[in-house]
Structure 1
Amino acid sequence: MARVLILNGPNLNLLGTREPSVYGAETLADIEARCRAHGASLGFDVTCAQSNHEGVLIDHLHAWGALHRAGEAAGIVFNPGAYTHTSIALHDAIRGIAPTPVIEVHLSNVHARESFRHHSWVAPVAAGSIIGFGSDGYLLALDALARRRAASGLGTKP
């Protein structure tokens, strides 16, 4: 069974209580449970991690990049939170683990929010971005990883 990392950045540990009108009422634990269940239906063993610290996120990216190169991981679903708009270090880490597919996910439509949220340092090095579909974006990203894996001949699921 291929492994997938669901990686969440700063403040996402506050989901369910932080601005529910923007981010919804689900907690991070709720989203992780949905991801594990959906991932299992696609043949993935899903691991979830969250950190408010940029260096810890980079360490996760490096470790999962190594797993992907070893054929043990299908990719990473990554919500970098506010680091999306500020972190060249995350950009460089994702570029450094290529060809590991990293799919950028955001709960809210960042392009409909403050102008400083309109630029992503992650998007240019991500396999794709899913923005504004709430927690369903994580499931869409898992579907995309499953399709990429099947297209590469490594998986049997769509």
Structure 2
Amino acid sequence: MLAMRKTILEIVPNAVEVISYGMPAFKVEGNVVAGLLSNKNHVGYYPFSGSILNLFSKDLSKYRTTKSALHVPIDKPLPKSLLSKLIKARISQCPAKQGKVDPKKYESKDSAWRKLGLAAPARRGLVDNGILKLSDLKRYSEAELAEVHGIGPNALAILMKTKEASKR
């Protein structure tokens, strides 16, 4: 697993290592693009997209797959070229790479959220809803913030903690 982690970081050196769904994972521009889990006889590779493995069914025919995972035997590591294809395919699905999101639109408006360490989807959701500064949080309940597209449990926890701290 450590060898695959090292290879992933060589392929995407700007990836941020996180825990997602209880496993070590890698984020690029706010999107989880790969995850790993160590098992007794294999390393599970998770592309965090149900369609990626199907794109490479011929290349992956030597490996066992499930709907969302590739089982890589401990004694037969995944070639770097194939791992690179899988990761690049996943990155190409991400909203910013598809041109659905213009990151420059948000750069001048999301500095408060960037300082809090919120991921890009959460920052975009807040900006799209006109929530641009910390003082704007007081107008929203926890339930309303949870409904903002891109706000997940981690972002919501950070926002609520920040909102509570600003009351003091």
Please classify the TM superposition score into its range, dividing by the shorter chain length.
0.3 to 0.5
Task: Give the number of the structure whose alpha-carbon radius of gyration is greater.
Answer: 2
TM-score by length of 1: 0.33
